[in-house]
Amino acid sequence: MTVPRKQKISHKASQFTESVIREMTRVALKYDAVNLAQGFPDFPCPPELKRAACQAVEEDINQYAITWGDKAFREAIAEKVRWYLGLHVDPEQEITVTCGSTEAMAAAILATVNPGEEVIVFEPYYENYGPDAILAGATPRYVPLHPPEWTFDETQLRQAFSDRTKAIIINTPHNPTGKVFTREELSFIAELCQQWDVLALTDEIYEHILYDQTQHVALATLPGMGERTITINGLSKTYSVTGWRIGYILANSHLTAAIRKVHDFLTVGAPAPLQRAGVAAMQLPANYYEELAKLYHQKRARILQILDAVGIPYFLPKGAYYVFADISAFGYKNDVEFTEFLIKEIGVAVVPGSSFFSNADKGKNFIRFCFSKKLETLAKAQERLLKLQAILQTTR
Q: Which stretch binds ligand PLP (CB under 6 A): 68-76, 211-219, 234-242, 301-309?
A: 234-242
* Binding positions for ligand PLP, 109-138, rule CB under 6 A: 126
Alpha-carbon distance 339 to 356, whole Å? 14
Q: How many CB atoms lie within 10 A of CB 147?
A: 14
Using the rule CB under 6 A, is 171 a contact of ligand PLP?
yes
**Is 205 near ligand PLP (CB under 6 A)?**
yes
Min dist. Cβ of residue 236 to ligand PLP (A): 3
Minimum Å gap between C-beta 247 and ligand PLP is: 4
Helix axes 47-58, 272-282, angle to 10 degrees: 140
- Nearer CB in complex with ligand PLP: 95/391: 95
User: Hey, which bits of the chain come out as E strands?
Assistant: 34-35, 95-98, 118-123, 139-146, 151-152, 165-171, 199-203, 229-234, 247-250, 314-315, 322-326, 348-349, 351-352, 366-370
> Which amino acid is present at 374?
K
Cβ distance to ligand PLP smaller for residue 16 or 341: 16
Interaction residues for ligand PLP, span 141-160 (CB under 6 A): none
Give the amino acid at 278.
G
Three-state DSSP state, 4: coil
- Written as one string, the DSSP assignment of 31-47 is TT-EE-SSS--SSPPPH
Q: Are 239 and 46 in contact (CB under 8 A)?
A: yes
Closer to ligand PLP at the Cβ: 171 or 377?
A: 171
> Taking CB under 6 A as the rule, does residue 175 contact ligand PLP?
yes
Measured from the CB of residue 38, what is the shortest distance to ligand PLP in angstroms? Answer: 7
Give residues 235-254 in contact with ligand PLP (rule: CB under 6 A).
236, 242, 247
Distance of alpha carbon 304 from alpha carbon 300, whole angstroms: 6
Residue 113 or 346: which CB sits closer to ligand PLP?
113
* C-alpha–C-alpha distance, residues 66 and 268, integer Å: 9
Q: Please report whether residue 35 would count as binding ligand PLP according to CB under 6 A.
A: no
For ligand PLP, the binding residue among 70, 118, 203, 207 (CB under 6 A) is 203
Check binding of 352 to ligand PLP (CB under 6 A).
no
Q: What does residue 294 show for φ and ψ, rounded to 5 degrees?
A: -65, -45
Cα dist from 245 to 95, 120, 233, 240, 253, whole Å: 16, 26, 11, 11, 24
Site map 70..109 versus ligand PLP, x via CB under 6 A: ------------------------------xxx-------
Nearer to ligand PLP, 112 or 382 (CB): 112
**How many residues contact ligand PLP, by CB under 6 A?**
13
Cβ of residue 127: shortest distance to ligand PLP, in angstroms?
A: 9
Binding to ligand PLP by residue 275, rule CB under 6 A? no
Q: How far is CA 324 from CA 1, 186, 267, in A?
A: 39, 22, 34
Q: What is the contact surface with ligand PLP in residues (CB under 6 A)?
A: 39, 100-102, 126, 171, 175, 203, 205, 234, 236, 242, 247
